[in-house]
Amino acid sequence: MNDIYLDFHIAVPPDENIREIIPAALSDYSFEGFVEDDLGIHCFIKKNDWHNDIESIVKEISDQYNLSFVEYIKTTEIQHKNWNEEWEKSIQPINVSEHFIIAPSWNMGNDNSKTVIIIDPKMTFGTGYHETTRLMIRLMENFIPIGTNVLDVGTGTGILAIAAKKMGADHVVGVDIDEWSLENGIENARKNGVEKDIEIRIGSMETVTETNFDIILANIIRNTILELLDNMLAKLANKGKIIFSGLLVTDQPIIESALHQRNFKIVSVIRENDWIAIAAERA
């Protein structure tokens, strides 16, 4: 196969939610593959199938979704490759904490001293290896004792629900408004052998009738945390803890103020780059 392809390199911040947008926004064109790197996303299409202006399209996407840091870098002509194979090679196991590794099923590494969380990222749904995921798992290690009930708000791939179960949680409920999470969360739980103890629900907090969770997890953006905060705290057991991320350093005083107003105290804050995670309990 000797087709010439165009490789459009687009700068995209290492934010999972933003990196999901680009392939979806380009879905009306005939792209055959997307591969992430540190700078952004490589988008591959046959040269003969491309009759548009990539710079204008990227600008339109950036303006439409208010993505100020997304921009076109360059175009390179290349020979045909197995894009899926190239993408799989780019996904490597990653140490996320003292005891856990996140890895795809096709490359789980050889560190037998740590527990592997198997997550097969989808090309259009990011890698799941964001700073906030690592921060959440690090705090969870400190605050999830064996036998607890856990609620994961905005469960997505189910990665934090799976991690909670592997840390010793008794039962885990994951909730998300995205119907994709039901199939993907169950699939990932099955790959990790914990599907019997993780329940994925589609919808918002109204799908959660229980009020006795020992731990509540929420790796979601600040505004959504504030919107759901009272509902989440109402589901927490008296001596329970709530762990947040999806937060920038600049969000810390806003979240801490909201928690203090509700008679919660901060028990831990950790940081990686510009991102933080916060654990809190009733004062």
> What three-state secondary structure class fits 241?
strand
| Residues 283, 281: Cα–Cα separation, whole Å | 6
- pLDDT tens, residue by residue, 196-212: 999 999 998 999 999 99
% of the chain exceeding 90 in pLDDT? 55
User: 145 CB contacts (<8 Å, ≥6 apart)?
Assistant: 168, 214
What residue type is 168 in one-letter code?
G
- The mean pLDDT value of the chain amounts to 88
pLDDT score, position 85: 73
Residue whose token pair is 């699939």: 187
- pLDDT tens, residue by residue, 35-92: 888 788 999 999 999 999 999 999 999 988 888 789 999 999 988 777 667 767 767 7
Residue 95, strand partner residues: 101
**240 has a pLDDT exceeding 90:** yes
Tokens of 195: 């599907």
| Residue 77 CB burial class (10 angstroms; 0-12, 13-18, ≥19) | exposed
The model's confidence at residue 123, banded by pLDDT at 50, 70 and 90, is very low
Strand pairing report for 171-176 and 149-153: parallel
The model's confidence at residue 126, banded by pLDDT at 50, 70 and 90, is very low
User: 213 CB contacts (<8 Å, ≥6 apart)?
Assistant: 149, 150, 151, 173, 235, 236, 237, 240
Over residues 228-235, the mean pLDDT reads 96
Structural domains present in the chain: 4-88 (3.30.70), 130-282 (3.40.50.150)
The answer to whether 231 touches 202, Cβ cutoff 8 Å, is no
pLDDT score, position 124: 38
Over residues 132-145, the mean pLDDT reads 92
pLDDT score, position 234: 95
